[in-house]
Amino acid sequence: MEPGSDPILPEPQPDLDGKLTFIPFADLSFEHQSAAVYDKYAFFVRNGRGTIRLFDMDRKSKIYTLSLGGGGDLSIYHSNQSSFGIEKYEPSDFFPLLYISQRAKSNKRCFTEVFRIIPLFNADGTLLAFRTELVQEIYFPPMTEQNSLGNVNAVIDSKTGWLYTYSRNNDSTDSNYGQCKISRFAIPDVHQKEAYLEDTDIESSFMIDARATNMQGGCIVDDRLYIGQGYPATGSVYLNVVDLQKQKLVKRYDLMAKGIDWEPEGCFYYDGSVMLTHTHAICRVEEEE
């Protein structure tokens, strides 16, 4: 089958659930739409191209607020997915590039903004502040029934260097519950100010049955893509685990059945564990085989 074309959906597998433990890690007191971590620093990204709150995971405290350059239309700049890449814009940079996924502009292409995080020091070398610099916009192919690239979220695999997307066949959040397309792309050269990807750039793709409404906040750990999904008002909140090598959904945790009554916003890997976030807390996830 050609990359980007839709295979037949697998049959739903209700036995994918397993044992899962949530351990409160830290309290938060600020709204965010997605989160990413590098070293000990967690970046909590608000929607609307507003701000990022920088959080020290070791100290469990907020240390700085960065600007993304001004407000924006929430129907476009929703920031449902944040992910650090593997490349630094300059070799001397401390942080690699930060990829923040947005929705679609008038050209019908979902896009990801790529930011450089720049620390600012005073004369004696003391850290004063951080600033962001938008260095690239990556535009994904316009959605078709074949490529399922609606509401694209992009996650970088720090081990392999691939860019993975999870997406669906429509632009709304209240229909098409059964389809989620996982696609793999090469990361565009960051020195292209605008990178336009086409269907021919899809290296591989596969479909999972994930009741794909409102999927956001993904991270990749050891060839597994973790994706939060849903919110309590819909009666369903899940954590999906996708094996990228086997190209299938291997676990779907029913979080509401486990007492989670909040919408997953961010997901990242820190200190040996997957972390799920929402507007009030960070929780450590422990899986049992």
Mean predicted confidence (pLDDT) in 149-172: 89
Residue 165, pLDDT above cutoff 60 = yes
Mean predicted confidence (pLDDT) in 248-258: 89
In-domain check, residue 53: yes
pLDDT of residue 40: 95
Mean predicted confidence (pLDDT) in 266-272: 96
**What sign has the CA pseudo-torsion 137, 141, 142, 147?**
negative
Instruction: Indicate the average pLDDT of the chain.
Output: 88
In-domain check, residue 150: yes
CATH of the domain at 223: 2.120.10
- Of 196, 176, 192, 191, the C-alpha closest to 110 is 196
What is the per-residue pLDDT across 193-249, written as a single tens digit (0 to 9) for each?
Answer: 999 999 999 999 998 877 666 789 999 999 999 999 888 887 888 899 999 999 999
**What sign has the CA pseudo-torsion 78, 83, 88, 93?**
positive
pLDDT of residue 241: 94
Q: Can you give the residue range of the structural domain that contains 103?
A: 14-288
Share of the chain above pLDDT 90, in %: 57
pLDDT of residue 139: 97
pLDDT of residue 128: 79
In-domain check, residue 230: yes
Question: pTM of the predicted model, to two decimals?
Answer: 0.91
Mean predicted confidence (pLDDT) in 262-278: 94
pLDDT of residue 275: 96
218 vs 20, which has greater pLDDT? Answer: 218
Edge-to-edge strand ranges of the sheet holding 110-121: 81-84, 98-104, 110-121, 127-139, 194-196
In-domain check, residue 207: yes
pLDDT of residue 193: 97
Residue 48, pLDDT above cutoff 90 = no
Per the structure, how many domains does the chain have?
A: 1
Q: What does the alpha-carbon distance between residue 35 and residue 45 come to, in Å, rounded to a whole number?
A: 6
Pick from 25-34, 71-80, 148-157, 172-181: least confident: 172-181
In-domain check, residue 8: no
Share of the chain above pLDDT 70, in %: 90
In-domain check, residue 4: no
Pick from 8-17, 52-61, 235-244, 256-265: least confident: 8-17
In-domain check, residue 238: yes
Mean predicted confidence (pLDDT) in 245-263: 89
pLDDT of residue 73: 86
